[in-house]
Amino acid sequence: MAKNLTSREDDYSKWYNELVIKADLAENSGVRGCMVIKPYGYAIWEMMQAELDRKFKETGHQNAYFPLFIPKSYFSKEASHVDGFAKECAVVTHYRLKTADDGSVIVDEDAKLEEELIVRPTSETIIWDTYRKWIQSYRDLPLLINQWANVVRWEMRTRLFLRTAEFLWQEGHTAHATEKEAIAEAEQMMNVYAEFVETHMAVPVVKGLKTESERFAGALETYCIEALMQDGKALQAGTSHFLGQNFAKAFDVKFASKEGKQEHVWATSWGVSTRLMGALIMTHSDDNGLVLPPKLAPHQVVIVPIYRGEEQLEQISEVANGLMKDLRAKGLRVKYDNRDTQKPGWKFNQYELQGVPVRIAIGPRDIENGTFEVARRDTLSKEVMPKEAIVENITALMDEIQNNLFDKAINHRKENTTTVETYDEFKKVIKGKGGFVLAHWDGTTETEDRIKNETKATIRCIPLDGDNESGTCIFTGKPSARKVLFAKAY
């Protein structure tokens, strides 16, 4: 079908960029590296937010809001944190513009800030500066806070959703009385993310731990979930960090324990971002456009009338409106597109491109026969369904499509996960079909770096589940506790 969309086989990267724009999800703005999230893309993000927010509240978290700006001095307090983010910080230095003698608008040099402000790349420092005032006693713990916000990381090479200078995300920041509790929280949030990504996004993930070199700047342990895209590259879909007492020490956050002792607090932070949109798009979509799982589709069903003249349209609209009402009563998100400015063929194309899970066409013959033509986006198959069964069938189809997408993604991952025993095999797979590669590693950053330099593959995670037999490192032959997950990554 003529979507003017580059095929995945021809150029996966180009396919993705074109798809994001043609499906009306997002576009580049006039500000370097910053995107505009268009209404259709934002509607999907809103549904993700709603479900994640529900899960956060269910697990006892509350939302709050902290400043966009971070004084430079706060930012510098945790040494490894500043090392991790300093090179990509947008800095506010002035607070006023003025009109120059030639009439142009310029920055007013008389309005220079005494201390420069960093636009938050993440909020640990400003939040822990606040927590010092909120936490005095064990009674104030645990403190379980989440924030929905925009953050800025001045990345040099950007791609819509996957890597942008500004992005939207949520960041959880929790404080606990004990190390054990903080670790349990970090693990819990990794599981919350995994459950959401698998159940709602229909994207299977591997849960694991980051290696030391891939950890969040300031964390003692980073839990992550890793997904595999159709081109065989990995995408980190969410991270949850056990921060130990690093930030509590940097910001002097202590509490009086039950025994009356002053102790530093234990911390976690965890986040997912609009990057999830990239994972969603790349996992399911095809050369005809976007494919959305029903749970995150702004419209789960679209009804298109096929008619000549007002009279036919009226007849069809009566049936369509009745069906829409019945489907909505079942909780489905349904749109009836009776615009007369566009032809049915154009609409079919559009909804295919935008990934609407089910399309129902109604023509005069359907009215005569009491039938509907139902087209599935995931399989591109069509079926004629009788009036009597339509509501039940469509409702059931939602689960069927959701499950089918997940199964397809699981199968793709299975076919593209390779276990290797030697470095030659490793290089061959990484250079060839790519995908996830499970291999033994000696646990050192040096080996990790050398493999990365030679193959561009990185350790995505040390998986928490699966095969945990010991062996010897494919690169050095030294002992390895278990196989780890390698891949080239986004």
User: Environment class of residue 197 by beta-carbon count within 10 Å: exposed (0-12), middle (13-18) or buried (19+)?
Assistant: buried
Q: Which is nearer to a second copy, 58 or 465 (CB)?
A: 58
Concatenated DSSP letters of 81-121: HHHHHGGG--EEEE--EEE-TTS-EEE-TTSEEEEEEEEPS
Greatest CA span in the chain, whole angstroms?
Answer: 82
- CB 407 to a second copy: min, Å: 32
CB of 227 to a second copy, least distance (A): 23
Q: Give 219: exposed, middle or buried? Use CB within 10 Å, 0-12, 13-18, 19+.
A: buried
Q: Kindly tell me which of 89 and 224 has the beta carbon lying closer to a second copy.
A: 89
Q: Residue 126 CB, nearest distance to a second copy (Å)?
A: 7
Cα(285)–Cα(69) distance, integer angstroms: 38
Q: What is the closest distance, in whole angstroms, from the C-beta atom of residue 320 to a second copy in the complex?
A: 20
387: its two tokens: 């009036």
Least gap, CB of 110 to a second copy (angstroms): 11
Task: Return the number of the residue (9 or 101) whose C-beta is nearest a second copy.
Answer: 101
CB of 488 to a second copy, least distance (A): 27
**Closer residue to a second copy, CB minimum distance, 117 or 265:** 117
Nearer to a second copy, 126 or 220 (CB): 126
Distance (Å, whole) CA 109 – CA 193: 46
Distance between CA atoms of residues 115 and 122, nearest Å: 19
Residue number, 153 or 233, with CB nearest to a second copy = 153
As measured in angstroms, the least distance from the Cβ of 138 to a second copy is 10
The whole-angstrom separation of Cα 220 and Cα 246 is 9
90 vs 410, beta carbon nearer a second copy: 90
Contact positions vs a second copy (CB under 8 A): 27, 29-31, 34-39, 42-43, 46, 62-72, 74-76, 82, 86-99, 104-105, 107, 116-119, 126, 129-130, 133, 139, 145, 149-150, 152, 154, 166, 168, 341
- Backbone dihedral region of 202: left (phi > 0), alpha (psi from -120 to 50 degrees) or beta? left
